[in-house]
């Protein structure tokens, strides 16, 4: 697709999302951003309605421009005149006039500036005068509330026409998805040459073949057994011109994506990740506040993305990840479960998608011991897992069951929630206060079946007398 066709396609995706949540009764977008896949239509969103205004103008049709003008005039009446938030807009209609959100108002100001840049001659004169007054009030509000040292001030300054500050990003795990999402919005406002340079920096945080963020971060969520995309990931997919399959994209992200379309220059990222797997693990030296996962493994297979993650907070981890392999030393907390109260202290979650089977020593089973070989098979991959106590003494037993990972945010419709994951857990029967476990994980193509069998046959197991308290079958 050429650039105009690309813009038309993504605008169409955004309009579908808007129309799904457009209320015939109020003429506003009813959507709860914090419950992105809920069927609830209780909240009228002033924020998403402003985004809808810009999408309607962008259609450049007489009917849509008239509709957008009427809606814009209605929305301007929700600008607060209260002293503490004078000039701001609420996220939701029921929060008017005393509630505001800094980022929401920055996004609305973003819409205002795009409207002025692209449609000032289309908006009727009296409405434009009213709109200009509202824009000035909103600018004054943001000048008082935006922290000059924050990343949000960067986008605000660019919107005001100031010289942009181009960033240099380190390729590490300390940069959050929220930070990257702000950067990509700022990048969308830059001249095309500057866009290209900044996108080359941003691509170090993006796996282009799978279409996801390639680090660990605490705000990653899953819905209906699929990984939920962040705004950064959607934006990078749009710039790349290749939308990832097997991921869940909320209507909020599609609606917000209209902010990217004004200055869209696609296919700036020429290189491709050929790997269909991604393995990322945390180390103790990294800042804990960014993480909810010890590690994550993503496997792209046809139109699915399988994920294997461990979301334990209590265990310390030293890890080494390679191509299709992971080795972790897991140190258990010093506090030992009370006698007689066995509990799960370590668990992993694997997507419950089609054609997934679990094997213990090549036999389908749901219970295993530490000296067993555990494997997970999909249509094209085989994951081999092994556990070994390397320090201390312990009596642990493994179990495979159904459930949901802690980061699963699928809305509960009705009395019960559906299980979207397989859970591989290690239950502690008894152990020392000091216990360290080694986990090894390897991924093989099923085409290499003979190689896999050879690995299994030659796998070195420690003598049972060296594995203290481990069960024998």
Quick: pLDDT tens for 307-339: 888 876 678 888 888 889 999 999 999 988 776
Q: Identify the pLDDT of residue 32.
A: 87
Q: What is the CA radius of gyration of the chain?
A: 26
Does position 468 have pLDDT exceeding 60, yes or no? Answer: no
Q: Identify the pLDDT of residue 229.
A: 84
- pLDDT interval class at 187 (50, 70, 90): confident
**Rounded Cα distance, 231 and 237, in Å:** 10
Residues 341-362: tens digit of each pLDDT: 568 889 999 988 778 899 999 9
Does position 464 have pLDDT exceeding 50, yes or no? Answer: no
Mean per-residue pLDDT, 392-405: 92
Q: Half-sphere exposure of 358 toward its Cβ, with a 13 Å CA cutoff?
A: 21
Report percent pLDDT > 90 for the chain: 42
Report DSSP letters for 43-59, one per residue: -EEHHHHHHHHHHHHHH
**Rounded Cα distance, 411 and 238, in Å:** 27
Does position 286 have pLDDT exceeding 90, yes or no? Answer: no
Of 238 and 173, more confident: 238
Q: Which two tokens stand for residue 261?
A: 């379309």
- Angle between helix axes 102-119 and 46-59 (nearest 10 degrees) is 20
Largest interatomic CA distance in the chain: 87
Does position 455 have pLDDT exceeding 50, yes or no? Answer: yes
């Amino acid at each position: 697709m050429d650039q105009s066709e690309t813009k038309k396609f993504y605008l169409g995706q955004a309009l579908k999302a808007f129309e799904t949540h457009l209320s015939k009764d109020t003429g506003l977008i009813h959507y709860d951003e914090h419950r992105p896949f809920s069927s609830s239509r209780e909240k009228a969103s002033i924020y998403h309605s402003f985004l809808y205004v810009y999408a309607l103008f962008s259609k450049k049709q007489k009917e849509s421009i008239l509709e957008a003008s009427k809606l814009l005039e209605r929305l301007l009446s929700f600008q607060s005149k209260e002293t503490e938030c004078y000039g701001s807009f609420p996220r939701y209609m029921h929060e008017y006039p005393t509630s505001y959100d800094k980022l929401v108002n920055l996004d609305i100001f973003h819409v205002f500036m795009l409207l002025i840049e692209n449609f000032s001659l289309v908006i009727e004169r009296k409405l434009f005068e009213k709109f200009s007054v509202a824009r000035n009030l909103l600018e004054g509000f943001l000048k008082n509330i935006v922290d000059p040292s924050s990343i949000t001030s960067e986008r605000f300054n660019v919107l005001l026409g100031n010289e942009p500050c181009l960033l240099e990003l380190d390729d590490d795990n300390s940069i959050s998805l929220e930070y990257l999402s702000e950067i990509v919005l700022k990048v969308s406002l830059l001249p095309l040459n500057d866009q290209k340079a900044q996108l080359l920096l941003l691509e170090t945080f993006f796996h282009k073949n799978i279409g996801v963020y390639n680090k660990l971060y605490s705000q990653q969520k899953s819905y209906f057994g699929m990984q939920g995309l962040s705004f950064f990931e959607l934006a990078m997919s749009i710039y790349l011109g290749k939308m990832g399959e097997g991921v869940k994209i909320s209507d909020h992200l599609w609606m917000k994506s209209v902010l990217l379309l004004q200055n869209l220059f696609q296919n700036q990222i020429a290189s491709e990740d050929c790997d269909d797997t991604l393995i990322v693990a945390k180390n103790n030296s990294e800042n804990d506040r960014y993480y909810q996962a010890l590690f994550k493994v993503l496997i792209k297979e046809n139109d699915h993305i399988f994920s294997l993650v461990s979301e334990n907070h209590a265990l310390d981890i030293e890890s080494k990840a390679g191509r299709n392999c992971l080795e972790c030393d897991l140190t258990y907390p010093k506090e030992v479960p009370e006698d007689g109260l066995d509990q799960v202290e370590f668990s992993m979650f694997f997507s419950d998608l089609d054609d997934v089977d679990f094997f213990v020593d090549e036999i389908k089973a749901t219970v295993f011991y530490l000296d067993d070989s555990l494997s997970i098979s999909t249509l094209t991959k085989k994951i081999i897992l092994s556990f070994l106590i390397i320090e201390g003494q312990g009596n642990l037993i493994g179990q495979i069951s159904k459930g949901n990972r802690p980061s699963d945010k699928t809305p509960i419709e009705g009395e019960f929630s559906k299980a979207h994951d397989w859970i591989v857990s290690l239950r502690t029967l008894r152990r020392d206060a000091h216990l360290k476990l080694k986990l090894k994980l390897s991924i093989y193509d099923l085409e290499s079946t003979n190689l896999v069998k050879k690995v299994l046959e030659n796998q070195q197991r420690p003598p049972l007398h060296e594995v203290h308290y481990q069960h024998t079958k």
